[in-house]
Amino acid sequence: MTSTLSILGTTIRQDAKGRFCLNDCHKAAGAAKKDGPSYWLATTDAQKLASRLDSETTGKSVVTNEGRNGGTYVAKELVYAYAMWINVDFHLTVIRAFDALVTQGLHSVKPLTREQKIAEAFVLLHEDHEKAKEQIAVLTPKAEGFDRFANSIGRTNLREVGKALDIGSKRGIELLRETKWIFRAQNGKWHAYADKIDAGYVEVKYATYTNTVGEEISTQQVFVTPKGMARLSTRLQQH
């Protein structure tokens, strides 16, 4: 990295291999004894992470240098892990510092002021509110269409389905055929698929009458139920 990483006003030194000084990170976090780098590096999680990083490269993820400008230098991933071990707030600060360094070229990242935090929260709340309004606007007509048919009384014969859906009588029958709710038999009569009957979308009613020559004739008629009309209405709005 060509820029200098700075966390909460503390410059984080780097060695020739690009590793970051964990002692400087400790200083930026407040230099509490309990948060010392040696304590964290002794944990099982830190050792496992360092071992995994070492297995992926020929370099060392943790190096300790002696002398006046010495210290423990670690890979970037270990800086993240160390910051998370200290606390959530410092972890977030470190993430923002690296993000600023890499994507924005900034030399320091200061913590947000109280006013900035409130403004940020307000913007997020406003965005969520607008998204909710958009979702309601999309769902409302669908819900209204569903309720209108689901709460209707009686069944709808095939010729009236398209009219009720405002797509025309012919298109209504085509829709029922395309979605495999009904099919035309060889005698020209419409029949319903068994699975749609079982689902409660359509019903078949039988009637018997006597023709002009005294013969008793039995016939059937397919109707779409209120539940079926509601399903068709929802389908049309989705497409």
- Per-residue 3-state assignment (H helix, E strand, C coil) for 217-230: EEEEEEEECHHHHH
Confidence check: pLDDT of 85 > 80: yes
Q: What is the CATH number of domain 5-111?
A: 3.10.260
Q: Residue 153 pLDDT > 90, yes or no?
A: no
pLDDT, residue 91, reads 93
pLDDT of residue 157: 85
- As a whole number of angstroms, the distance between CA 35 and CA 173 comes to 74
- The pLDDT score that the predictor gives to residue 132 is 62
The residues, any chain, with a CB within 8 Å of residue 101's CB and separated by 6 or more, are 1, 3, 5, 107
| pLDDT score for 139 | 52
Distance CA 134, CA 129 (A): 9
Contact 4, 106 (CB under 8 A): no
**Can you spell out the DSSP letters for 128-164?**
HHHHHHHHHHHHHHHHHHHHHHHT--S-EEHHHHHHH
Residues whose CB is less than 8 angstroms from the CB of residue 116 and which lie 6 or more positions away in sequence, other chains included: none
Phi, psi of 72 (to 5 degrees): -95, 120
Binned at pLDDT 50, 70 and 90, residue 104 comes out as low
pLDDT of the residue at 146: 46
C-alpha to C-alpha distance for 23 and 71, rounded to whole angstroms: 6
Q: Is pLDDT at 66 greater than 60 in this prediction?
A: yes
> Does residue 86 register a pLDDT over 50?
yes
Structure tokens given for 38: 């040696």
For residue 125, how far is the Cα from the chain centroid?
Answer: 18
Report the pLDDT value the prediction gives residue 119, as an integer from 0 to 100. Answer: 60
pLDDT of 218 strictly over 70: no
Q: Determine the 3-state secondary structure of 89 from DSSP.
A: helix
| Domain ranges, ordered by start, for the chain | 5-111, 149-238
Q: Which one is predicted more confidently, 93 or 4?
A: 93
Q: What per-residue confidence (pLDDT) applies to 138?
A: 53
- Residue 111 pLDDT more than 70? no
pTM, full prediction: 0.43
Among 2-11, 27-36, 142-151, 156-165, the range with the most confident prediction by mean pLDDT is 27-36
Distance CA 140, CA 136 (A): 6
82: confidence class by pLDDT, cuts 50, 70, 90? very high
Q: In what order do the strands lie in the sheet with 62-65?
A: 20-21, 71-74, 62-65
The span from the CA of 145 to the CA of 161, in Å, is 14
